[in-house]
Structure formats: C-alpha cells, structure tokens
Structure 1
Amino acid sequence: MGKFTADAAKMLELIGGKENISAVTHCMTRMRFVLADPAKADIKGIEALPSVKGSFTQAGQFQVIIGNDVAEFFNDFTSVSGIEGVSKDAAKQAAKSNQNPAQKFMSNLAEIFAPLIPALIVGGLILGFRSFIGEVAIFDGGTKTLSETSQFWAGTYSFLWLIGEAVFHYLPVAICWSVVKKMGGTQILGIILGICLVSPQLLNAYSVASTAAADIPVWDFGFAQVQMIGYQAQVIPAILAAFVLVYLERLFKKITPEYLSMIIVPFFSLVLSVLIAHTIVGPIGWKIGDAIANVVYIGLTTNLRWIFAPIFGLLYAPLVITGLHHMTNAIDTQLSNQFGGTMLWPMIALSNIAQASAVLAMIVLQKGERERQVSIPACISGYMGVTEPALFGVNLKNGFPFVCGMIGSAIAATVSVGTGVMSFSVGVGGLPGFLSIMPEHMPMFFVCMAIAIVVPFVLTLIIGKKKGVH
C-alpha cells in the first residue's frame, strides 16, 4: 500500500470515478486531469484531502496541486484507478475537447511559441548586455563605452552579435519548424522553408524600406516577376507559410500513391509552399504584422497610452487565466523587430511581479503550514516569471490578492509606458526582467518594479488584516 493510496482512492471517487477521466498526467507539482464532465468533480471535497494543496482549471485541464510528492501520488492514483497515465502532450490534445474554438486557437498559438521562448529570452538578454558594453558611455568622463576601453570587450561586443542575429534575423526558420512540428508535418521541410524566407540571396527585410522599387531584385519567369524580398525577423509571414506547407503536404499524401510519395510529396509541397510564401502569404502576412504592430505602437506612444497602459496592466493577469496572453509573444516580437524594442513586454514583467507580491503578502498573513506549502513556491515562481501557481493556487482562491495585484500592475504599467521604458525583446518575466531592458531605461524600470512590489503587497496586507486572514 502506497503512501497516498487512501487519498488517491478518495480523489478518484470525488473526481467522478474512472469513467469521468479522459486522460491523466502530472507535471512538477500538479496532477493534470482531462475530465469528460468537469461538473462531476467535487472540488471542495478534493481540496479537503490532506495531500491536496489546491486546484484550478486551465486550458481544459483540471489541475490538482500536490507538491513535490506528485510523482509518488500519481503512481498510487494510477494503481488504484487502473488508468494508465499519458504524456503531457497527449493530455493537452485530449483537453482541447473541452475548449471552444477561440481557446483552441490560443492553445495552438501557445504551443507554437513555447519552444521558441528560451531563444527569445536569450536573444533579449544578449542584446541588452551588448548594448550596455558597446553603447553606454560611462568611462573616461562619460566619453567612452566599455568596448572602447578594452579589446576584450570590443571582441565580446562583436561576437555577441552572432547570437543576437541568429535569434532574431533568422526567427522565421524557428517559427516554420515549430509550426510544422506542432501540425505533425515533416520538420526538415519546415526548416528549409524558413531558410528560403531569410536566404542571403534575398534583399534583407531591413533594407526594403530604403530600397527603390526599381532596385529590388526579382525572379523573372518571363510572364511574371516575383520580388526577391527576405522576411528576416517576420513572425506572421513565417506562420502562414508554414501552414501552407503543412496543408500541401497533407494534400499530396492523400493523392499520391505510396510508392511515389517519398519523391512527389516533399518535392511539390516544398516548391509550391516557397512559391506561395513569396507571392501571396508572405506579402499578406507582412502587412498584417505591420498593422498589428502599428496599432499597438500607437496605443503605447500617443496620448492613448494613458488609457492603453493602465487597461493592459489591469487586464494582463486575467488574460493569463484565459490563455489569451500567449498572443503577446507574437506582438512583442513584431514590435521589437519593427521598432527596435518593445514597451509591451516590460508591462508583462511588471504584472507578474505584482501578482507575486500579492502572494508575498499572503505568506505574511497566513500562518498555516498547509497554505504556506502552496504560497511560498507560488511566490518564488511568480517572481521568476511563471504566475499560474500564484494566480490559481493563491490569488484567485482568495479574490482580493488578485485584485490588489491587478491594481499594482496597472499603476506600474502606466508609469512604465508614460516614461517610455523599453526592452530589446521578451525576457524573464519577473524580477530578472531588468536584464532585457535597454540600459537607458533601467533606472525607471527599477522604479516601476518597486511600484509593482510595494502597492500589491501593502494593499493585500491592509485588506487581508481587515478580513481577518491568518
């Protein structure tokens, strides 16, 4: 008999029995269930179990917080239930049956960008560090940069551009690969398609605006000419081109005899998708990306910023709950590539800090060991940029900390945008976020961080004491 056998058996009963579980898996601290009928789950009963520290539902999955012993609990649960666990990817696919079309779209978008986030964070950090050593004059009376005073730092400044360029200029390669992988296509074809969008043979996307139309190189087919324009750092053209490749590959697999598929399918799928990318979806995607970036940029830089910033700061945490926040990855990347930086991402980092600070106040208020087992890891995770444990495990369950975090985020966002704080790209969305902020904006970002820490913390303490939280 396992350590959690009794709790696992009771959870099986409270969750609606074996027939109500479509899939089950676990992550580092949580059991993840896909339920046939979520309404059958007795949430209060489940949360009353000694081994359970909380629960929430996100992206079609009912998640029960167990803690560091979740792997042992999972083994006991699968033993008493007779249900075999599945991979997290399989659980995500099963969970989509509980999602509406909008949620499915956002879930797919999130799964496309999730593998790219580490590279985007690294790229943002590298550009920030590179800018500090090569563009901030703080030596010899403020006349020289660090790279101008040392050959080592001059070489470092030059070397780091190699990585920064790989991340952002060649981003379409990564996007095409991720889309094709997500959609179950041939991944190497996705990589090749991405390379065809950023090949050195093409006119660099950054040079298009300064090049006269007559000087843009073309492929001349006699009856038609196609401009040889690259899509360096472009997000939406790469996504659209990859979808074209996936659907062409599926089409040719259906209509091609098996003995010819190895030749016909990859050849026609790749050639046609590259042609369509450069003639149809690439130009359309470019226009869409520019339009989205321009609208957000107007909201961040004109008098509308005094409306846009507090609303975004207030609503970002609720967006995380719905999963819609994943859309900001594409917008941030587009802003960074089009305008040389983004004012959107600093607000995201500040929102995460604000929600974590509300949890910090709850740690001070709550004395129970059971509550702290949830709130302390959630607070640390939130300050490191992952707020789901803080939101679902603490703030939403108590209500007022969530609102206090939103208020602190709104104030910090207003100050951030009002003073023009800008980052190179996305970064670590919590306290380490300052590393991606442009050096000239770091002092003001620290002020915004202080607001995002102090306001939610103080508000949560005041309201919590009035409510008698302990």
Structure 2
Amino acid sequence: MGKYTTEVQELLEYIGGKENIATVSHCATRLRFVLKDNKKADMEKVEAIKIVKGSFTQAGQFQIIIGNEVSTFYNELIAQANLDKASKEEAKVAARQNLTLLQRVISHLGEIFSPLIPAIVVGGLILGFRNVIGDINMMNGGTQTLTQVSQFWAGVHHFLWLIGEAIFFFLPVGITWSISKKMGTTQILGIVLGITLVSPQLLNAYAVAGGEIPPVWDFGFAQVNMIGYQAQVIPAILAGFLLANLELKIRDYVPSYVSMIVVPFLSLVPTVIVAHVVLGPIGWVLGAAISNFVYSGLTSAFGWLFAAVFGFFYAPLVITGLHHMTNAIDLQLMSEFGGTNLWPMIALSNIAQGSAVLAMIYLNKENEEEKQVSIPAAISCFLGVTEPAMFGINLKYVYPFLAAMIGSSLAGVFSVATGVMANSIGVGGLPGILSIQPAYMISFAISMLIALAVPFAVTVFFNKRNLTFSKDKKKQAA
C-alpha cells in the first residue's frame, strides 16, 4: 500500500470515478483535473479528505490543493487509477474546451504574463530599493538622500537601473518570446520580433509621448515613422500573436525540406512590417485609451467609488482568473504615467486576505490541525501568494473571505483618496510598500493598517455574532 492509498481511493470516488477524468496534472501544490463532467464532483466531500487543503475551479480545471506532498500523491493517483500522466500544458489545452471565448482570452493572457512575473517582481523590488536610497531624504536631518552623501550608494543606484531598464523598457521582448513559447512556434523569432519593437535606432516611446518628431523610413511612395514601443504591452501582444499564427499557417503549406529557410523569412519579415505600419500605432492608441480610462477613473471625483468596487471585487476576480488582465493594465499605466495607482490596491487585497486568516488563527487557536494549514497560508499571503489563504481557509469558511473583501475595499478607497502611486508592480503583500513612490509611502502604510485591522475585526465580529454564512456548523470556529 502507498502512503495515500485511502485518500486516493476517496478522491477518485468523490470526483465521479476515474472514468470522469479527462486529464490530470500537478504543479507545486495542486492537482489539476480536467473532468468530463464537473457536476459529478462532490466538492464538500473532496475538501473533507484529510490531506486536502481546499479546492476550486479555475480556467476549466478542477484544482485541489494538496501542499508539498502533491507529487507523491499524484504518482499514487496515477498508479491506482491507471491513468496517463499529462503535462500542465496538455491539461490547459483540454481545459479550454470547457471555456467561453472571454475565458479563453483571459486564459491566454494569464499564460503570457505568468512566465514574466518573476522578472517583473524583481524589477519592482529594484525600483523600490532605488526609491529608498535615491528619493527619500533620510540623511543629515532629513535634508539629503543616501545617494547624495555616499558615492558607493550613488553607484549602486546608477548600476541597478541597468536591470530595471532591461526588465521594463524591453518588456516587449519578453512578451513576444512568451507568446511564441506558448503557441509552440520558434522562440528566437519571437525574441527578434520583440527587439525590432525596441531597437535603439527607433525613437524612444517616451520621447514620442513628450512631443519629439520621429525619423522615418522613406520608401519613396510612403513613409513609416520609426517609433519604438518600449514598455508597451498591447503592440507587443498583437505583433506576437500575428507572428505565431502566421508561422503556424505557413508551416502547413511549406514542404519540410525548405521550411527552415522559408518559414522564418515569410513569418518574421511581414510581421515586422505590419507591426510598425499597423499594429504598433493601433496598439499604442488602445493602450493609451485603457490606461487613460483607468487613471482618469481613479483620479476623478468618483475615484473613491472606483476604488471601493475594485478593492471589493479583486479577490473574486482571482478566483475567476480575470485578475490576469490587471498585469497588462498596470504595465500600460507605468508606461503612460510613470507609475500605477491600480497595483497598490492589489497589494492591499492580498494583505486583507492574510489578515482574515490571522483572525481565523486567533479564533481556532486551540485547533492544532487547523493551524498547520492556516499559519503557513497567512505567511505566504503576506508575502504576496494568496492561493493557500484564499482557497485553503477563507473560501472554506466564506465569512473571512467576505471580511477581507470589505477591508480591501476600505483600504483601496483610502489609497486612491490620498493619491498613492507605485513605481511598478512589486511583491503583492507587505513588502509591496517598497514599490510605492516615496511621497506616498506614509499614506500606503496607513492603507496597509486598514487592510490589516478591518478584515481581522470583521472576521471576529462575524464569528461572534454567528454571521458565518456556512451550512456546516462543524466548520465554525470556536
């Protein structure tokens, strides 16, 4: 018998039997099922299995949180059910069959930006550190920055921009590479396409926005502006998908013995032309329109309402996967306005979810089994990883999740009302304050206190008044 034989048998029974499994894969902490009929899965019974820390459905996949033992559990599941192992990519492809058109678009966006997140987070931390040493007057009685009094720190500040520039200015290269990787096309062509969008011979996108007149490619009968798309998201996405789809189509018609020569040429050259003549200008206009709409909404007289709604509903967006859209919007805001007033609310939402878990730890302080799940979940949430907290604790009981939404909304209102701006996307939890522009760090710190205090208090209030919205009284905290 294996270590989890009983649990595997129970899981197979509760998800409708092995015949209900289309594919199954796993990631670092979760099993990812694509079920033939989701209605056959009994989620309450699945979550009652001892090793299971939560379950949810996202992007067409029925996902079960196991934890660090997921690989061992997965291998026993495959062996007992006599299933074929599937990769995460195969599971995603199968899962898309269950999605609407909008859900598929969101799924694609998520897969484009997921590989880029580590670099973007590193970039955010670097810009945050440059904030601290280069923009905050902390020396000589609050009159000078660290870089002004120390040549060493001035050198560090200057050197770190090398990495920040590589990540954010040349972001289109990462986007076009990620699209080619996701679509199964030639990745080096995606990289080359991205470089053509940010080449040094093109006038910098920021200079164009500042009013400089770009040089042109003069073809005699027509002229094309030599504009770069540094830090631009939508032009890169449009160009990347054109290249990938063009390559896939051309492959179908070109004989294999000349494909290595013909396919790259016929894919890349037309894409670069269309990117600079059509897609780039269109993408620029679309990106500017989206970022202006969001920025105007957050800075208008009704910004508090925008913030309240976004702060309240961001966590549910995470459940649906729609939150992936915010990455593109944040990056576009950074490009247009030199910072983002949307991302701080995302960090506050994560903090609020962690605070609700802290309240559950307090309410269940005598329950050692519960603490084994909730304490690590709270820590990871405060460091920007909300999944264990949301799916393992807050959604399980419902009322902590609602309390976190309320706290996130109020914290978001204060953040927007005080004009908080972040230089970039960063770590979406307590360390997120490093990404905030120095002038707004105190305001954001107060917003963080709101995101910590309100969910904790509301969670305890709901529990003491028995406003827990749960059908299972056994699940109530003491």
Global fold match (TM > 0.5): yes
Displacement after TM superposition at 1:98 (Å): 2.1
CA 138–67 in structure 1, closer or farther in 2 if over 3 Å, else same: closer
- Contact kept, 8 Å, 2:355 with 2:378, in 1: the verdict is yes
Q: Which residue of structure 2 aligns with residue 401 of structure 1?
A: 400
After the TM superposition, which of the residue ranges 128-137 and 357-366 deviates more from structure 2?
Answer: 128-137
Matched AA of 2:157: Y
The 5-angstrom pairing of residues 389-468 of structure 1 reads 389-467=388-466
Q: Which residue of structure 2 aligns with residue 286 of structure 1?
A: 284
- Does residue 1:168 correspond to 2:176, yes or no? no
Q: Which residue of structure 1 aligns with residue 470 of structure 2?
A: none
1-side partners of 2:16 and 2:404: how far apart? Answer: 34
Tell me the secondary structure at the aligned position of residue 57 of structure 1.
Answer: strand
Matched AA of 1:397: K
Q: Which residue of structure 1 aligns with residue 46 of structure 2?
A: 46
1-side partners of 2:70 and 2:140: how far apart? Answer: 57
- Does residue 1:236 correspond to 2:228, yes or no? no
Displacement after TM superposition at 1:112 (Å): 0.2
Alignment TM-score, normalising by the size of structure 1: 0.96
- Contact kept, 8 Å, 1:391 with 1:402, in 2: the verdict is yes
Q: Structure 1: state its 5+ residue gaps.
A: none
Displacement after TM superposition at 1:12 (Å): 1.4
Displacement after TM superposition at 1:329 (Å): 0.3
2-side partners of 1:330 and 1:160: how far apart? Answer: 24
After the TM superposition, which of the residue ranges 372-381 and 243-252 deviates more from structure 2?
Answer: 372-381
1-side partners of 2:381 and 2:59: how far apart? Answer: 19
- Contact kept, 8 Å, 1:365 with 1:469, in 2: the verdict is yes
Q: Which residue of structure 2 aligns with residue 103 of structure 1?
A: 103
The Cα offsets for residues 115-169 of structure 1, whole Å up to 9 and x where unpaired, read as 1111111112212221332233333344432112111111112111111111111
The 5-angstrom pairing of residues 286-305 of structure 1 reads 286-305=284-303
Tell me the secondary structure at the aligned position of residue 31 of structure 1.
Answer: strand
- Contact kept, 8 Å, 2:124 with 2:427, in 1: the verdict is no
After the TM superposition, which of the residue ranges 307-316 and 29-38 deviates more from structure 2?
Answer: 29-38
- Contact kept, 8 Å, 1:137 with 1:145, in 2: the verdict is yes
CA 50–229 in structure 1, closer or farther in 2 if over 3 Å, else same: closer
Q: Which residue of structure 2 aligns with residue 318 of structure 1?
A: 316
Q: Which residue of structure 2 aligns with residue 70 of structure 1?
A: 70
Alignment TM-score, normalising by the size of structure 2: 0.94
- Contact kept, 8 Å, 1:365 with 1:465, in 2: the verdict is no
Displacement after TM superposition at 1:211 (Å): 4.1
- Does residue 1:151 correspond to 2:151, yes or no? yes
The Cα offsets for residues 332-389 of structure 1, whole Å up to 9 and x where unpaired, read as 0111111011110000000011011111111111243443333222222211212222
- Contact kept, 8 Å, 1:132 with 1:439, in 2: the verdict is yes
The 5-angstrom pairing of residues 113-152 of structure 1 reads 113-152=113-152
After the TM superposition, which of the residue ranges 170-179 and 383-392 deviates more from structure 2?
Answer: 383-392
- Contact kept, 8 Å, 1:360 with 1:457, in 2: the verdict is yes
The Cα offsets for residues 310-338 of structure 1, whole Å up to 9 and x where unpaired, read as 11111111111111011000000111111
2-side partners of 1:309 and 1:287: how far apart? Answer: 25
Q: Which residue of structure 1 aligns with residue 471 of structure 2?
A: none
2-side partners of 1:224 and 1:105: how far apart? Answer: 35
The Cα offsets for residues 164-190 of structure 1, whole Å up to 9 and x where unpaired, read as 111111111111111111111110001
Tell me the secondary structure at the aligned position of residue 10 of structure 2.
Answer: helix
CA 195–368 in structure 1, closer or farther in 2 if over 3 Å, else same: same
Q: Which residue of structure 2 aligns with residue 354 of structure 1?
A: 352
Corresponding residue pairs, total: 468
- Contact kept, 8 Å, 1:358 with 1:405, in 2: the verdict is yes
